Amino acid sequence: GAGVSQSPSNKVTEKGKDVELRCDPISGHTALYWYRQRLGQGLEFLIYFQGNSAPDKSGLPSDRFSAERTGESVSTLTIQRTQQEDSAVYLCASSPLGLETASTDTQYFGPGTRLTVL
């Protein structure tokens, strides 16, 4: 079946512009996660959606970052007034169940969006 998809795959923008990144999770997955991976580094948690619960936004680095999710489907990550330090690969993942369950909640990752801020 289809995996997690993300668009665009690459985005080059100028400093100060707003960007919107899209994630289509696997159908039926209730949980969705956004991460940021800077060059040569590990993944930095940004935000977590679980069903209709309030999202966990504790990883968002500043108020320039925001994310929305429509029900249990598409999510968009918006970065306003982009800065050069925002350059990174933004990865989205989804899992069948959320972190609160006792069952496995393996995350399935999308291919990422490579954002370059000039």
Partner 1 sequence: ELKVEQNPLFLSMQEGKNYTIYCNYSTTSDRLYWYRQDPGKSLESLFVLLSNGAVKQEGRLMASLDTKARLSTLHITAAVHDLSATYFCVNQFYFGTGTSLTVIP
Number of residues in the chain:
118
Count of residues in contact with partner 1, rule CB under 8 A: 22
Cα–Cα distance measured from residue 26 to residue 5, given in angstroms and rounded to the nearest whole number: 8
- Map the footprint of partner 1 across residues 39-78, applying CB under 8 A: 41-45, 48, 59
Q: Does 105 contact partner 1 by CB under 8 A?
A: yes
Point out which residues pair with 34 in neighbouring strands.
Answer: 47, 92
What token pair was written down for 83? 């800065």
Q: Does 87 contact partner 1 by CB under 8 A?
A: no
Judge residue 84's burial from the number of C-beta atoms within 10 Å of its C-beta, 0-12 exposed, 13-18 middle, 19 or more buried.
exposed
Which residue among 86, 110, 115, 117 contacts partner 1 (CB under 8 A)?
Answer: 110
Q: Which amino acid is at 106?
A: T
Provide the minimum distance between the beta carbon of 83 and partner 1 in the complex, in angstroms, as a whole number.
23
Which residue among 9, 81, 99, 118 contacts partner 1 (CB under 8 A)?
Answer: 99
Which residue among 82, 112, 115, 117 contacts partner 1 (CB under 8 A)?
Answer: 112
